[in-house]
Structure 1
Amino acid sequence: MTHYIASTLTIGLLTISTNTLGFMSNNYVLPTPDDTNVTQLIVKLAPNEGTANGRVMTQGALSHLIAAGGMPLEYKRPMSGGAHVIKLPFPMTSWQAQEFATALSAQGNVTFAEADRRVYPMAAVTPNDPDYASQWHLQDPTQGNPGAANLPLAWGEMQNANSITVAVVDTGILNHSDLNDNLVSGNATGSGYDFISSSTTYSNDGDVRDSNPSDPGDWNTDNNLCSITNSSWHGTHVAGTIAAEGNNSQGVAGINWTAKVLNARALGRCGGYISDVTDAIAWSSGEAIQGVPTNTNPAKVINLSLGSTGACSPSQQTAINTAIARGAVVVVAAGNEARNISNSSPANCNNVIAVTALLASGDLVNGSNYGTLADIAAPGVNILSTRDTGTQAPANSNTYSTESGTSMAAAHVSGVVSLMFAVQPSLSNGAVPAGNVASTIEGLLKTAARSFPVTSNCSGTTLCGAGMLDAYQAVIAARNFTVSNTNTGNTGGGGGGGGSSDVFSLFSLLLLLLPRFKRHYTNYRRNNT
C-alpha cells in the first residue's frame, strides 16, 4: 500500500511540501551485487534557498538532524555548479536512488537531484565487417597509424545514441547492399533530390531536376567538355565513408552506423553549376526551394566534397549561412590542388569546417590544399568504402574500392560531427540557438583534435588545421558539453558550491523524504549484520 505524508517543514524561508511523494513504494527489493551501485546523490538547491536569516549549520545542529532521521546520512562535499554530494544511508539500487532523486527534483526549492552513479571506461568496439581490417583510417591511432581517426572508442560511446541525418551534396548515390539501410528512404532513388538543371551538359540521366537523385554515372566521352573519364561513383564512396552499415558482417564499416544519408545530387558529367550546388545546400538544411518538393528530412550535417577555384561566391555564402541559421554544420573538402585554401571555394567561405587530408603517418597528403583557413585534418589516402565497377552506367556490383583526397577527409569529419550530434541532444533540440550550433561543434571538434606528430610536415604550423581528427575525444567533448556554460552567459555558479546554511536546508529536505526509505534501510541492516 502507498501512503502519503501530509506535513510541511519550514526552516527560515525554506518550505518543503511532501504531498507529492505518494508514488514512492514501500516495497523493498534486496539488491543484487551488480545492482547495488548507488551510494551517493548529487543535489542542487534552487537559487537563494538555504540562505534565509543567515542560518549557520553547526556540527550540533547537523548531528541533531541526522539523529532525527533515524538513519546515517553524511554530507560529503560541495561540488562545481553550486551542487552538493550526499552519501546515502545504505547502498541503493539504481531504481531506488532514481526514485528518491525524482522525489527531490519535484520539490520547488530543488533545481535538480540525481543519482551519483558510477562511471566505467567504455570498451573499444571492433566491428565484425570483414574488410574493417583494411580500413586503417578508422582505427586506433596508437596501433601504428598516427593519422587514424580513433573510431573504436567512439563507437563504444554510442549506445542509445540518436539517429542524425547527413546530407551528401555530390554526384548522387547508388543502391548498395552495405549502405541502403542507412539512406533516409532505404534506397538511393527515393532518398533525396536531383538538383542538376542541365539535361545536355551534366546530367547523364537524360532529364533535368527530379525526385530521383541516384547516380547514373558521371562518365564523359567528349573532350570538348572536360577530360575523358569513366564514372567515379564519388557520392557513393563519400556516403559509405560516413554511414556504411557497421557491425553487419558485410564489407566495410562507416563512421556512423545509425546515421541517415540524404542524397542531394548536384554534380554530374564534368561537375556542376554553383547555382545547383547552392540550392542543394539550402534545401538539405530544410529551406524551401521554388519548384522543389519540401525536404522532410532536414540534415544536421551537410558534406561538400567538391570545390572550384576562386573566392567564395555570394550565392554560396548565402546558402551556407541559411544552413547555419537552421542549425546545420557544413563540412567542406579543402581541395586537392596543393595550393592555399584561400583560392578554393567553398572551403574559403565563412562558417564552414574546411578539412585537409592526412596520410596514415600524420603528414599532409601531397596535393592537399592547406592554409590558415584550414580547420582540421582527417584521413585522406587509401580510404576504403562503397563503390561500383561500372565504367559508365552502374553495374550494381555492390563492391568496394579505395580513394584518396580531401573529399574523403571531409567525409570523415562529417561522420564524426554526426556522432557528436547523436550523443548530445542539446545541439539539435533547440537548447543551443540554431545559429550557434555550427560554431559550438567546430570549437568542440578543434579542442578534441590530437596534435600532429613531431615528425609531421604539419607540426608547428597552422596550415593543416587545429590538429588531427579524433572521433573519441570529439564524442566525449560533445557528451560533456553543457548549454549554460556557452549560450546563456551564465557559468552555472561554478566554484565552491554553497555555504553552511545550504547544508542545513539540504539535510532538512533529505530527512523529510528519508522516512519513505526507513523500511528499506531496516531490511538492508537485517540482511547485512
Structure 2
Amino acid sequence: MAVRQNRNIRLHALTAALALGCAASPAFAGQANLSGLKANGSYDRFIVNYRAGSAPAADTVSLASSLNSAAANTALPAAAKGKRLGLKHLRTMALGGKVVTADTRLNRDEAEALMRQIAADPNVASVELDLMAHQLATPNDTRYGEQWHYAASAVGANLPGAWDRTTGTGMVVAVIDTGIASHTDLNANILPGYDFVSSVSGGNCGDGVNFDCGASEDGDGRDANPNDNSGTTSGYHGTHVAGTIGAVTNNASGVAGVAYGAKVVPLRTLGKRGAGFTSDIADAIVWASGGTVASVPANANPADVINMSLGSDQACTKAYQDAINIATANGAIVVAAAGNSNIDVTGSNPASCNNVISVAASDKNGNRAWYSTYGTSIDITAPGGETCSPNSEFLPLNTDPTTVGCSRSHPADGVLSTLNNNSFGFMQGTSMASPHVAGIVALMQAVSTTPKTTAQIASLLASTARPITAAKCPGGCGPGLVDTAAAVAAAAGGTGPGPGPQTYNNGTDVNIPDNNATGASSNIVVSGRTGNAPSNASVTVNIIHPYKSDLIVDLIAPDGSVYNIHNRTGADADNVSGTFTLNLSSEALNGTWKLRAADRAAQDIGRIDTWSITF
C-alpha cells in the first residue's frame, strides 16, 4: 500500500493478534475477547476455546484442572466473604467451544480478570463472554415492510440498530410545511402548532397564469389552527413529512416514524399550490425555536429540531439566515431539503444557509435521485425515493427536471408515509429525505448527555456516513448516505455508565472493493471522552470471507497513525476474525477511528461486517 511508504505516518506493531486459519504456537497465551464487557454488567457464563490437540480439549480431567487453576487465581467480589470461586463446564458446543459457568456473578473488572486468567493457559486459544442476544427493535406496523428507506441495508437509513438505543423520547421536532391533516397513525404524536399563512389572496406564482400561490385557503390569516387546507393543491405534503418523522409506531397498523418517541409541532407556512412567502416562513422558524413573533402566542413546545422540506433556487437570503441564526442560538438544529432542481446546493435556499443541515436524496438503488440537488457542500444524503424516473438514470447536471418528466412509473420505490383521510402514500423528493435526517437528529440529541451543536451534528453525520461513489452520484452527495445506527452511537459517544473502558461499534457493514490497494474504511467516531487512548486498546474485527492470500487490514487513529492488524500471504482462505490487542501510542481518544481493509488481488469480494474498539 502506498501509505506504507509515507514517512510521516507511524506504523506500529501488534502486541498480540488472532486470525482464524493461521496456526498459533501453544507457547503463546490465548486471546481474551473483552469487547462485550460493560461497566455496570454482571457475568457468569463464558465460552472457552482450547487449542486443537491440547489435553483440556479432549479430556474432562485436564479441562477441570485448567478451569480450577484460573478460578484460584481470580479475586472474588467482597460480597463473596472468602468463598472460593468455582467454574463448571456445562457443555461442549458444536465446533468444540466449552461453555463454562461461574458460581458467583462477576462485575466487569472481575470478569475481565477471570478471562485473562483463563487465557493465560497456553492450551487456551480464546475466551469470550457467553452473551445474551435480544431481538432487534423491529416495528410491527403493517406497512413497515414497504418502508425500504428505513432498512438496515446498503440503501436504507439503517434505523433498526438505532431504535435499540433510542426512539427520540423527549425530543420535539417542528415541521414547517403545509400544515397537517388528522390521521389515526399520527395524531398521538402531534403537539399544538400554528398557522403562519398570512395572505388570503396569495401572490404571483411566476408562471404567468396563476396568481394565487400561497393563498391561505381557509379564508383568514394567521391563527392557531395548522390544519392542512391546501391538500388539493399541495398533496398533503406536510402530513407526509410529519409521518416520516413521527408516525405512531408499534401499533400494528400503518407505518413507522423515524423518531416515533418524539413529538411533532406542525407549522403551516405553505398555502395554495404548496407555496408560501419568505416572511411567513422566517417568522415560523423563529417561533418554532421558542423565539417571539408579534401577535402570536408563545410556543409552549420549543423545537429541538426544525425540518424545512421547502426552498427556492437561489442563494441563501438575509431573511432566512437571520431567522436560522435565531433558531440556532435558541438551541434548535435546522434541517433543510437540498432541493429538486438538479443543481448545486450553493444555489438552493435555505439549504445553502449557514447553520443548516442540507439533505440530498438517494433512490432505492443507492444512487443520487435523478432530480436531487447535489454538491460537495451537501451535509448528508438520505433516502428520498423515486416514484417515477426519466429514461436515463441521471440527467446532465443543471438540467431542469421539470422539463424532462417521468416516463417510468414505480410508486413503491418512493417514500411511504401518512396522507389525508387516514391513508398512506408514496412520494419522492428531497422533501422526503429531509425528515429522515430531522428524525435522526432527534435520535442523536436524545442520547447525548448535552445537546450537540449544528456543527457537531454535521460532523457526526459526515463521519459515520457511507460514501457514495461518483458513479452513483454525479455532482457529489457530500459525505454519503446517512447511517442512523452509527450516527446515534457516535452521538452517545463516551456517555456510557461509569468511567471504565467502553466499547464503540461501527454499526454497519462496508463493502471492500476487489483488487483495490486503497481498500475501504469503516468509521467509528469517539466523542465526549477525555484524555488519550490507553496503550492496550482491543479491536474486534470480522471480515466476511472468502479471501485468498491478499488481505491487508489496518487501524487508523484520529491523528493518522496506522496500526497494521493483518497482512496476509499464503495460499489459504483469509477470513480475519477475532480480538486484536494493539500497542497504541496514546493518541487522543476523541475523533474518527478507521478500520481499513484492502484487497490486493482480483480473487474475491468481501466486506467489513462488524468491528469494535475498546478503551
TM superposition score normalised by structure 1: 0.63
Q: Distance in 1 between matches of 2:130 and 2:292?
A: 47
Q: Which residue in the other structure is 1:133 paired with? A: 145
* Pair 1:245-2:257 in alignment: no
Partners of 2:443 and 2:41 lie apart in 1 by 32
1:414 to 438, 449, 452: 438
* 8 Å CA contact 1:162, 1:423 repeated in 2: no
CA 1:475–1:73 in structure 2 vs 1: closer, same or farther (change >3 Å)? farther
Q: Distance in 2 between matches of 1:318 and 1:481?
A: 34
Amino acid at match of 2:225: N
Which string of whole-angstrom CA distances, capped at 9 and with x for unpartnered residues, describes residues 483-526 of structure 1?
999999x93465469xxxxxxxxxxxxxxxxxxxxxxxxxxxxx
- The higher relative CO (CA closer than 8 Å, separation ≥ 6) is in 1
**Conserved 8 A contact 1:122-1:153:** no
Structure 1 residue aligned with 2:319, among 315, 322, 332?
315
Q: Give the C-alpha shift of residue 423 in structure 1.
A: 2.0
Name the residue aligned to 2:309.
305
Aligned to 1:152: 160
Residue aligning to 1:465: 478
Q: Which residue of 2 aligns with 1:365?
A: 369
* Structure-2 residue corresponding to 1:171: 178
Match for 2:447 among 423, 438, 451? 423
* Residues 361 and 368 in structure 2, CA contact (< 8 A), matched pair in contact too: yes
Q: Distance in 2 between matches of 1:476 and 1:192?
A: 31
Write the mapping of 1:326-405 to structure 2, written as runs, cut at 5 A: 326-381=330-385, 382-388=414-420, 397-405=421-429
Aligned partner letter, 1:166? V
Contact 2:178 2:234 in 1 (8 A): no
Are 1:178 and 1:251, in contact at CA under 8 Å, matched by a contact in 2? yes
Distance 1:196 1:368 in 2: 27
Any idea what SS the aligned residue of 2:162 has? Answer: helix
Matches within 5 A, 1:423-462: 423-424=447-448, 426-428=449-451, 437-452=453-468, 456-457=472-473
- Number of matched residues? 365
Which digits, 9 at most, give the CA deviation of each residue in 1:10-34, with x for residues without a partner?
Answer: xxxxxxxxxxxxxxxxxxxxxxxxx
Task: Give the equivalent residue in structure 1 for 2:189.
Answer: 182
Deviations 1:56-87 (A, max 9, x none): xxxxxxx9x99x9975999xxxxxxxxxxxxx
For 1:330 and 1:470, the matched residues in 2 are separated by 19
Distance 1:36 1:260, change over 3 A: closer
Aligned-pair distance for 1:198?
A: 0.7
User: Amino acid of the residue matched to residue 464 of structure 2?
Assistant: A
Shift of 1:177: 0.3
Displacement after TM superposition at 1:384 (Å):
0.5
Deviation at 1:403, TM superposition (A): 0.2
**Cα separation, partners in 2 of 1:280 and 1:70, compared to 1, 3 Å:** same
Native 8 Å contact 1:316 1:346 kept in 2: yes
Aligned to 1:309, the other structure's residue is in SS state coil
The alignment status of 1:272 with 2:279, answered yes or no, reads: no
Higher fraction of helix: 1
User: Alpha carbons of 1:496 and 1:91: their partners in 2 closer, same or farther (altered >3 Å)?
Assistant: farther
Match in the other structure for 2:123:
none
Give the C-alpha shift of residue 291 in structure 1.
Answer: 1.1
C-alpha distance in structure 2 between counterparts of 1:473 and 1:256, whole Å:
15
Q: Does 1:214 align with 2:227?
A: yes
The question of whether the paired residues in 2 share the 8 Å contact of 1:122 and 1:157 is answered with: no
- Deviation of the 1:379 alpha carbon: 0.4
Tell me: CA distance 1:274–1:73, structure 2 relative to 1, closer, same or farther (3 Å). Answer: farther
The corresponding residue for 1:12 is: none
After the TM superposition, which residues 48-197 of structure 1 pair with which residues of structure 2 at under 5 Å, given as runs? 71=82, 91-92=104-105, 123-141=135-153, 146-158=154-166, 162-184=169-191, 191-197=192-198
Contact 1:36 1:92 in 2 (8 A): no
CA offset at residue 134 of structure 1? 1.1
Instruction: Give the letter aligned to residue 192 of structure 1.
Output: G
Three-state SS of the structure 2 residue aligned to 1:272 is coil
Per-residue displacement from partner, 1:211-233 (whole Å, max 9, x unpaired)?
111111254xxxxxxxxxx3410
Amino acid across the alignment from 1:248 = N
Q: Verify the 8 A CA contact 1:243 1:254 in the aligned structure 2.
A: yes
Aligned amino acid, residue 165 of structure 2: E
Counterpart of 1:110 in structure 2 is: none
**Secondary structure of the residue that 1:401 maps to in structure 2?**
strand
Distance 2:143 2:178 in 1: 25
Segments of structure 1 that go 5 or more residues without pairing to the other structure are: 1-34, 40-62, 75-88, 98-116, 185-190, 220-229, 389-396, 429-435, 498-529
State the alpha-carbon separation in 1 of the partners of residues 133 and 324 from structure 2: 38
Residues 199-251 of structure 1 show CA distances to partners (whole Å, capped at 9, x for unaligned) of 221211111111111111254xxxxxxxxxx3410000000011101111111
- Name the aligned partner's letter for residue 147 of structure 1: V
Structure 1 residue 309, shift from structure 2 partner:
1.9
Equivalence for 1:81: none
Offset at residue 482 of structure 1 (A): 5.2
Structure with the bigger percentage of strand: 2
Query: Residue deviations 1:64-111, cap 9 Å, x none?
Result: x99x9975999xxxxxxxxxxxxxx994588xx9xxxxxxxxxxxxxx
**What's the CA shift string for 1:110-133, capped at 9, x where partnerless?**
xxxxxxx99866642221111111
Aligned sequence identity (%): 43
> For residue 350 of structure 1, what is the amino acid of its counterpart?
N
Q: Using the TM superposition, give the Cα deviation of residue 299 of structure 1 relative to its aligned residue in structure 2, in angstroms.
A: 0.6
Is 1:235 aligned with 2:238?
yes
Give the TM-score normalised by structure 2.
0.54
| Mapped partners of 1:267, 1:122: distance in 2 | 44
Consecutive unaligned residues in structure 2, runs of 5 or more: 1-39, 45-72, 86-101, 111-128, 203-214, 386-413, 500-524, 537-615
| Contact map agreement 1:37 1:118 (CA 8 A) in 2 | no
Contact 1:243 1:258 (C-alpha < 8 Å) held by counterparts: yes
State the alpha-carbon separation in 1 of the partners of residues 219 and 262 from structure 2: 31
Query: How far, CA to CA, are the matches of 2:338 and 2:470 in structure 1?
Result: 23
Closer/same/farther in 2, CA of residues 473 and 493 from structure 1, 3 Å limit: closer
1:443 Cα deviation after fit: 1.2
